[in-house]
Chain A
Amino acid sequence: MEFGTSGSLNEGALADGIHVDMDRLKKGEVKTTTGAYIANRVTDKLTQVHDTIWCCRSGSAADTQAVADIVHYQLGMYATANNRPPTTQTAAAMFQELCYENKDRLSAGLIIAGWDERHGGQVYSIPLGGSLHKQSYAIGGSGSTYIYGYCDSNWKEGMDEEAAVNFVKGALREAIKWDGSSGGVIRMVVLTKKGANRHLYLPDTDYAVRHQ
């Protein structure tokens, strides 16, 4: 049974997080479709849940936004109550609990990426059933199926920030190219000790120029 998800907006796009030597970097592209009609051609699916903990959402927009809102609130409470910032693991644990306990009501695929002092950059993936997977990089959403090969071939252990940005960009360009439901702009956020740094790349300039 599918109430609550049918008729909602589906973010038929690609979300991707990558874990690199220096940083945490995460990226998401962009299009929100309802059937073949593009409801929003410049969606921002990168969602901040704490200073340097972000998530990429795929699946039902309503569901993933609701889940992200709850975790955003809980992490804020955690930081205040314990007088220290939450770790990426804390965020991942909270996301997983929500996705697992409500699996029969949610259509949510999430990638959680974050940087914290103790663990550096980390990427977690929470697919449909609500399991939790620690990964070197994570891809998700409809477009991701087109780039499993690209990512497997091009990901290298211990990339620096520039190499990681290029890897993510390259992967997204492939997804946009082959997936009818992926397209538009490439949004990225780089998470390091310095904080969250956003990138934006546009098709007008063939994704070559950083606009943000």
Chain B
Amino acid sequence: MNHLPQAWGRPRDDIYGAYDSSYLQSHGPNQHTQQPIVTGTSVVALKFKDGVIIAADNLASYGSLARFTDVKRLRTFADTSVVGFGGDVSDMQYLDRLLNSLDTEEAYSSSGHTLNAQNLHTYLSKVFYKRRSDFNPLWNQILVAGLDGESKPFLASADLLGTTFSSPSLATGFGAHLAQPLLRKVAPDEEAAAKLSKEQALEAVKESMKVLFYRDARSLDNYSIAVITKDGIDLKENEKLEKQSWAFADQIRGYGTQIN
């Protein structure tokens, strides 16, 4: 038996073969995050006449476990923009701190000029692309809502690959499948969105959140919603889904013959 200290705690080479120490070498590719752990689900958003509405529920899941139910996934920037985060929560927190320092650096110059939502989206998408190119992606899909350089409603998405997209309505994750069709019905194009009232838009977004709660197993009935206009951000972080419909369950009967 090999009694040398360097063999302590190791399977014996004569039985298990030589130890494969290749992972200790520094050459070869670096390996980083390969998966998100604590995650948020969909973010949905819709442009309207005077601005943008964006919403996300307050759940952070750990696999299928609804682990944290008080996670606010809408983050404000400079009192003019809102970023909605889906995906990994630790990366969301990293980006939140990054935006914080960006905001501080913006305040160094006293020009009074601040980054608008469009600038913010460009910045974030480049951060995402840089990180994916380093094979160390930030595991998020985000929506940026606010106003552009001409004070018109702005809405765009960016994701872990650095992909960007813009549309009168957007939704990430499950929402892209379930909410997007509903929102498109309300605002099929920019012209239609520019005619929507705040009330119409709010109703459409809230309806989307309800459908997502019905059909997305990683969702919660507690959510945050923000209305962004030129007057600022109206953010509510503790909304409860209203007017759910479950009573029809009464009419449903399962498999097999039943007396009642």
Interface residues of A (CB under 8 A from B): 1, 3, 96, 100, 103-104, 125, 127-133, 135, 145, 148
Contacts and interface: CB of A to CB of B under 8 A. Distances in A.
Contacts of A133: 60, 68, 71
Contacts, number: 47
Contacts of B37: 103, 127-129, 131
By DSSP majority rule, is chain B's interface helix, strand, loop, or mixed? Answer: mixed
Interface string B20-61: 000110000001111011100000000000000000000010
A186 B141 CA distance: 42
Nearest to A2: B23
A137 B185 CA distance: 44
A145 B24 CA distance: 35
A127 B32 contact: no
B38 A3 contact: no
A129 B32 CA distance: 12
Interface in B59-83: 60, 62, 65, 67-68, 71
Contact of A129 (B23, B24, B38, B65): B38
Contacts of A148: 65
8 contacts: A104-B31, A128-B37, A128-B62, A129-B37, A129-B88, A131-B60, A133-B60, A133-B68
Contacts of A103: 33, 37, 90
B90 A131 contact: yes
Interface residues of B, number: 22
B93 A131 contact: yes
B94 interface: yes
A145 B65 contact: yes
A1 B90 contact: no
A62 to B, nearest CB: 11
B89 interface: yes
A133 B37 CA distance: 14
Contacts of B92: 131
A135 B38 CA distance: 15
Contacts of A131: 37-38, 60, 88-90, 92-93
A104 B137 CA distance: 12
Contacts of A130: 90
A183 to B, nearest CB: 22
Contacts of B62: 127-128
Nearest to B92: A131
A130 B38 CA distance: 9
In order of increasing CB-CB distance, the 6 nearest A-B pairs are: A129-B37, A131-B90, A129-B90, A131-B89, A128-B37, A130-B90
Nearest to A103: B33
Given A129-B90, A131-B37, 14 more contacts: A1-B31, A3-B23, A96-B93, A104-B31, A104-B33, A104-B34, A128-B62, A129-B37, A130-B90, A131-B90, A132-B93, A133-B68, A133-B71, A135-B68
A100 B94 contact: yes
Given A1-B23, A3-B23, A145-B65, A129 B36 contact: yes
B90 to A, nearest CB: 4
B67 A127 contact: yes
Contacts of B38: 127-129, 131
A129 B93 CA distance: 11
B161 to A, nearest CB: 19
Nearest to A139: B67
A138 to B, nearest CB: 10
A104 B32 contact: yes
Contacts of B91: 129
B67 to A, nearest CB: 7
A82 B32 CA distance: 35
Contacts of A129: 36-38, 88-91
Nearest to A126: B90
